[in-house]
């Protein structure tokens, strides 16, 4: 059953649904519109790219298997210039595909067939993470404005990672991981606390995200100075005191 339709305010999140299956595309558009989202659809990566030239979207729901440019290739090109949240859809249930999507920078991953309400929950969660990058259950009122480790700094209020004065692009999941680790001021953080939700909620994908983040902040990712493994527990971020 579809949710009751509501009037969509101008400030409602705008979602781009990209899928070559017209039936599914139309179904998702109706469901998300009925749930309070503004929705634009595209049948291919080329059509999506044309629409993003003139419109700004709050999130993308992106199919992997499309004729021409695949969802993986399109997501990879998006991440060269944008950190817009991406929820990937696929008919494949292969764990390797989920890892590939997360390595590219997707925020979550949903296998077809799926329950529309599950998609709604996952989409809502990645949008919340994007809207409040510094928010997490452990953050308290005395959280510092910025932490520093070596030449790097991370601002909690903006979710910004910099090397000296240069801004480093990070995904929403990487921002969330830095926020959790940074808020714990160098203490050990269990993998379970870093796992997040949805497709990222298992140890393997947490490790993938950590490895991606290490490539951005470590001179030698195999021997990290800042983002260290705590054997049998999880990870810690070694910050300057």
Domains defined for the chain, CATH in brackets: 14-131 (3.40.50.2300), 146-237 (1.10.10.10)
- Give the model's pLDDT for residue 10: 64
pLDDT class for 142, splitting at 50, 70, 90? low
Burial class (CB in 10 A: 0-12, 13-18, 19+), 205: buried
Two tokens, residue 63: 């199919």
Two tokens, residue 77: 């090109």
- Give the model's pLDDT for residue 8: 66
Lowest mean pLDDT among 75-84, 92-101, 116-125, 163-172: 92-101
Q: d(Cα 42, Cα 117) in Å, to the nearest integer?
A: 21
pTM of this prediction exceeds 0.75: no
Q: What is the mean pLDDT of residues 204-215?
A: 86
* pLDDT, tens digit (0-9, with 9 covering 90-100), for 152-205: 999 988 888 999 989 998 887 888 889 889 888 778 888 877 875 444 445 567
């Amino acid at each position: 059953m579809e949710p009751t339709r509501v009037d969509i305010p101008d400030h409602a999140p705008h979602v781009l649904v990209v899928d070559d299956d017209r039936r599914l595309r139309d179904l998702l558009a109706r469901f998300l519109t009925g749930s309070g989202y503004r929705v634009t659809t595209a049948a291919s990566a080329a059509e999506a790219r044309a629409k993003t030239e003139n419109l700004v979207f709050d999130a993308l729901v992106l199919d992997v298997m499309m004729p021409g440019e695949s969802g993986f290739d399109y997501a990879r090109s998006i991440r060269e210039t944008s950190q817009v949240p991406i929820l990937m859809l696929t008919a494949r249930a292969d764990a390797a595909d989920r890892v590939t999507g997360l390595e590219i920078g997707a925020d979550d991953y949903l296998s077809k067939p799926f329950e529309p309400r599950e998609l709604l929950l996952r989409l809502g969660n990645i949008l919340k993470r994007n809207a409040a990058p510094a928010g997490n259950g452990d953050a308290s009122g005395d959280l510092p404005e910025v932490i520093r480790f070596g030449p790097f700094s991370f601002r909690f209020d903006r979710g910004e990672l910099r090397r000296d004065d240069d801004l480093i692009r990070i995904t929403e999941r990487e921002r969330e991981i830095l926020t959790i680790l940074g808020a714990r001021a160098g203490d050990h953080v269990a993998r379970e606390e870093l796992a997040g939700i949805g497709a990222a909620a298992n140890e393997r994908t947490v490790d993938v995200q950590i490895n991606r983040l290490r490539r951005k902040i470590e001179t030698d990712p195999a021997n990290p100075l800042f983002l260290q493994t705590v054997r049998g527990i999880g990870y810690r971020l070694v910050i300057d005191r």
